[in-house]
Amino acid sequence: MVNVYKGELRSDGRIVTVNGEPLGDAVTQGDGRQRRPNLEWGYGGSGPNRLAHAILEYEYNNEFAQEWQSQFKNQFVDDLGIDDEWELRGDEVLDYLIDFGPEHDEREELYEEVATALSSVNTIIQDQSNILYPPELKEMQDVQDRLEWMLGKLEEEFMRHEARQEEAGESSGPSIAEQIRESENISL
């Protein structure tokens, strides 16, 4: 299932949802009330940073979110107007990072991180599928599918980059994706 993120303006303020549920963990205040973090957009403050982090953390994980939230904020959140309502599909998140975000060297780093994560997930599924409960196994397979999709998108970007290099007359050896897969011994 592809996640759908929405930013809405309501009479009681802004709310960000994922698949119809509020995004972000509720935090218990000193008076015992639960409150969601302020996930904001349309300006350059900490609220937009929290929004970028929350989306990336939900879609991938906390480590990924910490590494890439600045790029994602710069490419997606900063372009939203303060009075805009918006919608973003989970499969579009990586597009912002690939097509508009990191420089080519950072894309290689992103590819390495995703490939390593996929390798770990593949190992877990292979080694522990007989002891995982069906919902846990399904969740691991969903993560595996998402990571494979991410690698595919990154490989497409590498091919576009390498085609541009060839057009410019620059030499090219094995593709970046092939080099990384070979060095990591990753098989899909």
Same domain as 118, residue 94 = no
Per-residue model confidence as pLDDT tens digits over 79-129: 888 888 999 988 788 777 765 554 556 667 777 888 888 888 888 888 888
Tell me the average pLDDT across 27-39: 61
The burial class, CB within 10 Å (0-12 / 13-18 / 19+), for 122 is middle
Same domain as 94, residue 1 = yes
- Of residues 152 and 6, which shows the higher confidence score? 6
- Of residues 85 and 35, which shows the higher confidence score? 85
Tell me the average pLDDT across 177-183: 53
Residue 103 tokens read as 């420089």
Nearest C-alpha neighbor of 82 from the set 44, 55, 43: 43
Cα(10)–Cα(16) distance, rounded to whole angstroms? 10
Cα(185)–Cα(56) distance, rounded to whole angstroms? 27
DSSP state string for 21-74: EE-S--EE-TTS-EE------SSSSHHHHHHHHHHHHHHT-HHHHHHHHHHHHH
Same domain as 93, residue 8 = yes
Task: Write down the pLDDT at residue 86.
Answer: 92
Over 70: is that where the pLDDT of 182 sits?
no
Same domain as 110, residue 20 = no
Same domain as 9, residue 92 = yes
Nearest C-alpha neighbor of 178 from the set 169, 187, 170: 187
From 101, 134, 169, the end of a domain falls on 101
Q: Residue 173: which domain range?
A: 102-188
Residue 51 pLDDT level (bands cut at 50, 70, 90): very high
Task: Write down the pLDDT at residue 135.
Answer: 85
Residue 69 tokens read as 């939230």
* Of the candidate ranges 74-78, 151-155, 161-165, the one whose mean pLDDT is the lowest: 161-165
- The size of the chain, in residues, is 188
Residue 160 tokens read as 């576009």
Tell me the average pLDDT across 162-170: 70
Residue 175 pLDDT level (bands cut at 50, 70, 90): low
Nearest C-alpha neighbor of 23 from the set 64, 57, 65, 63: 57
